[in-house]
Structure 1
Amino acid sequence: MKKHKIKLRLQTTITLFVSGVIIFCLLVTNYLTKQYIEETTLARIEEKARNISRTVALSPIVIDGLSGKRDEEAIQTYTEKIRKATDVLFIVVLDMNGMRKSHPNPNKIGKRFVGGDEDPVYSGEEYKSTAKGTLGMSFRYFTPVMNEKGQQVGAVAVGIRLDDVKNQVNQGNRIIFISMFLGIMIGLIGAVLLAKKVKNIMFGMEPDEIARLLEQRSAMLEYAREGVIAVDKDGNITLVNQEANRLFKTMGIEEYIDRKIVDLIPTIHLQAVMDKGQKVIDQEYSLNGLMIVANIVPIFVNQEIVGAVATFRDKTDIKLMAEQLTGVRAYAEALRSQTHEFMNKLHVILGMVHLELYDQLVEFVKSVTNTFHSEVGFVTNRFKDPVIAGFLLGKVSYAREKGARLVFSENCFMPKPKDQDIIQEIITILGNLMDNSLDAVIGSKEKKVEVEIIPVCNKKLSITVSDTGPGMSTDIKERVFEKGFSTKGQDRGLGLHLVKQSVEKLHGQIIISSELGRGTKFTVTLPYEEKE
C-alpha cells in the first residue's frame, strides 16, 4: 500500500521550524551557561576558602599560638570570629602532629583531624580537597603555617559544606531554567506571529498552491494568443510572453527586460495609465505598420498602483479569425449563393410567363424541381446532421455560381455525431478544403471538385476532397499549411492553416496527394463516434 506523505501547512512548518531553532539555541545556551555557572561558583568558593585559609595562616595569633609564644585558646577565639564572619563550615588549625587547635565544636579541640586528606599539607603544599569529616562532606582548602624563620609550625584547613556549593549551583540553574522557559514562550509567540505574517503576505496560500499557480500562470502567459507586457511603477518592462516577444523581434528589438517601455514603444502610454489609474480598452495602435488592438490596465496592490499590464492582438488576425472560426462567413456564403441562384431562376420563370411560353415553363420548373430534389434528397439522406447537410447544399450552389461542379461520391454517408461540438470543426475542415479546391479549378478546363465523406473502421471518419486543378509542386506541398503562405496573393494563406489546426485539435491526420497538371487530393481521417 502506497504511503502518503503528510504535508504540513506553511504556518505550521514555520512555527515548528522557528520554535525548534529557538529551543535548540536555548538548550545549547543553557548547557553552556550552566557549565559556566558551575565552574564560576566552584572557582569563587575555592577562592573564598583559599583567601580565608591564607589569612588565618598568616595571622600572628595563629603563628605564635602554634610556636608556644601565646596561649593556644587565642587561636580558637580568633578563628571562630573569622568563621562566623565569613559563614564557612569550619576553620581548623592543626599542629604538626595533626591535632586540632581550633574547631566549631570546642569538644573536638585537642583531637586528631578527621578526613585523611591532610598529609600533603605537612610537606608544605597548599591544595584543595573534598572529604568527609565530623561535620559531614565538605570542600576543604589546606594552607601550611610558617613562622618567621620559614619553618612550618602547623596548618590551616578551611571547610565549606558541599550542600551549600550545590545550593548555589542549583540557584544559578534555576534562574537559567526560568529564563529559558520565558525565552521559549516568547519564541513560540514570535514564531506564530511570524508565520501568520508570512501567510498573510502570501495571500493565505500554501507553497504547493503558489507553485501550481505559478506554473499555471506561466503556461497561460506563454501559450496565450495575446501578447502580454507588464511594467513596474517606473515604467520598466518586467514580463514579456512569447507572443509579445515575437512582436519585439518583428520590430528588431532583442533586449527589452528592465528597459523603459516608452523607449521601445512610445505610442503605448502605459505610464499615463499608471498616473491616472484608468483602463484603456480595445485601443488601436500602429507599431511599425502593424495594427494592434490593445487593452491596458493598472495593477493595484493595497490600493496603490505598482505597475501596469498591456495585452494586445494583431488586428488582422482578429478580423480573419472572427470570420473563419465562428463559421459566420461559411453560413453567409452558403445563404448568399442559394439566394442568388434562386433569384436567377425566378427571373427565368418571370420571363417565360411574360412570353407566354407555358409549355417550356412547365418543363423548366420540372427540371429545376428534379435537380433540387435530387441534390437535396441525396444530401439529406446521406448526411444525417442538419447543419452539415445545409452547409453542403450551400456549397453546391456556391460552386455552381462559380461555374464549377461540386460532386458527392455515391458512397458518401455521415451519421449524427455523439459529440455535437465536432460539427463546427468539420465545417471548418470541409469549408476550407472545398473553397481551396474550387479556387484551384477556376482556370482549369474541367472545373470539378469531388467530395467523399464516409465512416471507416475503428470509429473514424474519412473526408476526401479532390480537384482537377493544376496540382502542387513538392515545395508548395511542404509549406501549404503554414500560416500566411499562399500562391493566390497577399492577405491569404489562412484557410489550410485552420484546417491543420482543426485536424490536430481532433487528433486526426491529413494527407496530400498532388501532381502538377493532374490535380490535388486532400484526405483527412478523424476520430468520430456515431450517436446511438
Structure 2
Amino acid sequence: MKNKNKRFLRVSIQLKILGLVISLLLLIVGILTATFIYFDYQEGIDRAEEVASQTAKTLSYMPVVQETLMTGDRMADTALVVENLQKDTKVTGIVISSRDTAIIEQAPERVTDRLARAPEENEALVFGNSYVVSIGEGADRLLAGVAPIYVDYGDYLKVEGTVTVIFEMSVIFESLLRGMKLIFMAAFIALVFGILGSWLLASDIRRDTLGLEPKEIASLYRDRTALFQSIRDGLIGVDQDEQITAINKAAKKMLDIHEWVKGKSLREVLASDSVYGAFHQLAERGTTEFEHNGKTLVVHSEPIFNDSKKVGTVFNILDKTDIREMAVTLTEVKQYSEDLRAQTHEFKNKLYVLLGLLQLGKTEEAVTFITEESAGQQSQANVILSNILDEKVQAILLGKSAKASEQKVKFQVSADSTLEPLPESIDLLPLLIILGNLIDNAFDAVKQQTDREVSFFSTDIGNDVLFEVTDNGAGIPPDRLPHVFIKGYSDKGEDRGYGLFNVEQELEKLGGGIEVESEPGEGTTFTVYIPKKQRETEKRKGEAG
C-alpha cells in the first residue's frame, strides 16, 4: 500500500490535475444528467396528468357528449369528437361511461381490460369530483384523468356518467428516451471540451511552475518563508499595482500592522499619507527616512524585473529607533555619571577649602564651615532619605543635588514629599529619563536668574505616583507650550529638543502622563503621573510592540 502511495506521489502534477479534473467532470456531468432526466420525467408525469384531467373535463362539458349519454343519439358524432381529441392530445385512450356501462371506448383492449378491473370512476359518480388517479405500478402503470358528466334536468343537475382519459407510462417513457438522447449528446460534448480544457490548464500550470513538482515547490516555499521571517529588518514585497505579495513579522511590528494584509493595496494598509508617500515615492531604486509613531524608519526599495519589465518592488525597512534609544540611554547614563562627578568635584573643592583653613590654623573658621555645610547637606539628605524611600529616586535626587550645588542652583526637595518603594514595573532607566530630563531642564531654565531656585515634590497617595518639578525661570511663552513635546523642537540650538519627547515616550510606555503649567516671568511646573499598576491596555500595547 505504501509503495502504491509513493508511486502516486511520483506522478507528475500535470497528470494529477488532468485526472482530478476529468473525475470531477464525470461526476458533475453524471449528476447534471441524472438531474435533468429526473426533472424531465417529473415534467412528463405532470404534463400527462394535466392533459388527462383537462381533456376529461372538456369532454364532460360538451353538449354532444351529454346528449349521447341521455338519449343515446348522436353516438357517431361523439365518437368522432373523441377520436379527434385523442389524436390531438396523443392520449392512450378515452372512455365515456354511464352509471352502468361504457358507451364509447376509444382505447386499446389491454387498457380497457385493466380499467374494467380497477373501476376508479366511483368517486366521480358518488361525489362529482374530478381527479387524476394512478393504476398499477412500474412501466405498466396507467394515469387516468376522471371527470363527472353532469346532466341538466332544469331544476337540478345530476351526475349521469364519467369521462376517463388514460395515459400509458410506456408512452411517457418513450418521450423521455427521445429527450435523453439530446441530454447524453450534450453531456458527451461537455465532457470532451472539459477534458481538452483540463489538459490545456494542466500544461499552463506546468509552465507557470517552471516544471517544478508540488513537493519541490513546497520545499522552496518553506525555505523562503523561514528565511523571509528570520530577517530582523522589515521586508515588504508588492507587485506592479502596489498589491502586497509578502510581508514579514518585522515589517508588521515596525509599521504597527496587526491584520492579514497579503493581497491588499499598499495604500489601504498604510493609512497614514506620510508613510504611504515615503513608500510610493520609491518607485525605482532609492532610500528615504521617515517618522512613524515615534520610530525613525529607513526604507530602501529594490525593483523586481521579469524580461526587462518591472513586475514588483521589494522594500527593506530598517528601524533606527533602537540605535537612537541606545544613544539616549548612553546619554542618560553619561548624565548620571556627570552628576556623580559633579558631586565628587563639589566635595573635593570643599575638602580643599577645609584643608587650607586647617593649614592656616583657622580652626574656628574650619569648624564653622563644616557645621554650615553639614547642616545644609544633612537637611537635604534627611528629607530625601527619610521621605523618599525608593532607592532609585533617592540616587537620582542625590546626584541632582550635587549638580545643583555645582551650578549654584538652590535645589529643594519638598519636606511634604512622600514616596514608598516603587513597583517593579517602574525601572531605573525610565525614571532617570523622566526625572533627569525634567530637573536638568529646570536647571537650564534658571541659569539667567539671580535667585536660581528649583523645587521637587513627590507623593504616592492614591493609585498614581506623582512627581512635580518647579523652577522660577523665565517661563514658556503660550504659543510654544503646545510644541514642547514635539521631537526636535527646541530654541537651545541644533541636536536639541529630544528630552521632553523622550520623557513623554517613556510615560506612554508606563501608562502615565505629563502636564505643564507656565507663566512668563514667573516660572514653569511639570507634573508627572505614573500609575502604580500598569493598565491592561498599556500592557497589551507593550506586548504588541
TM-score normalised to structure 2 length: 0.48
TM-score normalised to structure 1 length: 0.49
Larger Rg: 1
